[in-house]
Amino acid sequence: MKDCKLHYTDSIHYELEQTSRLMKKVTTQLFEKLEIGLSIDEYAALDTVSVNAGICQRDLAKLILKDRANTGRILDSLEQKGFITRFIDTKNNRLVKKMGITERGLKELDTINKKVKQYLESVTKKISDEDIERVQETLKSFRLELEKVVEINI
């Protein structure tokens, strides 16, 4: 049945989407099993805020690649749980909502990282660090190429 043409299930597009989808599933299940009170998206946002203190919402949206609407909603939840604080400030003379992680947020982040670390490592330990790194680098240049082509308006 197979011919020499490149079919969907043989493409890098397929491999990427499937792996990414699976990874998300694994992580979601892990978060549920460990009874972590945050969604993965909330965790990703919290972690990103923790290393980018004073970032504004739109810039965060670009980093976590959600649109502005969803980023705002995720932050609402994190703020309501007391893990971040938001404050009005200016960036290029424009009013923006900046944010920072709270003490409680830092503590929570640390707890989650400790809980999750060994589980996530068990998934990647079968693959050599070199391979992981190489994949990550290639993916990044791939992603940067994609960014040139895609029309995003965040």
Interface residue list for a second copy (CB under 8 A): 1-2, 5, 7-9, 12-27, 29, 43-44, 47-48, 50-53, 63, 65, 113, 120, 122-124, 126-127, 131-132, 134-136, 138-143, 145-147, 149-152
Q: Does 85 bind DNA (CB under 7 A)?
A: no
Cβ nearer to DNA, comparing 126 with 148: 148
Does 100 bind DNA (CB under 7 A)? Our answer is: no
d(CA 127, CA 147): 28
Q: Which residue's entry shows tokens 């892990």? A: 30
**Residue 27 lies near DNA (rule: CB under 7 A):** no
CB of 68 to DNA, least distance (A): 4
- Pick the stretch among 46-54, 65-73, 119-127, 137-145 that binds DNA (CB under 7 A): 65-73
Residue 47: CB minimum distance to DNA, A: 16
φ, ψ for residue 100, nearest 5 deg: -150, 160
Rounded Cα–Cα distance for residues 102 and 10 (Å): 46
Q: Which of 66, 78, 101, 109 binds DNA (CB under 7 A)?
A: 66
Scanning 36-128, the segments in alpha helix (DSSP H) are 40-50, 57-64, 68-80, 103-124
Per-residue contact track with DNA, 135 to 154, x per CB under 7 A? --------------------
How many angstroms separate the CA atoms of 1 and 15, rounded? 21
Residue that is written with structure tokens 């909330």 in the block:
42
Q: Which residues contact 77 (CB under 8 A, 6 or more apart)?
A: 42
From 51, 54, 52, select the one nearest 98 (Cα to Cα): 54
Query: What is the binding site for DNA (CB under 7 A)?
Result: 21, 25, 28, 39, 41, 56-58, 61, 65-70, 72-73, 75, 91-98
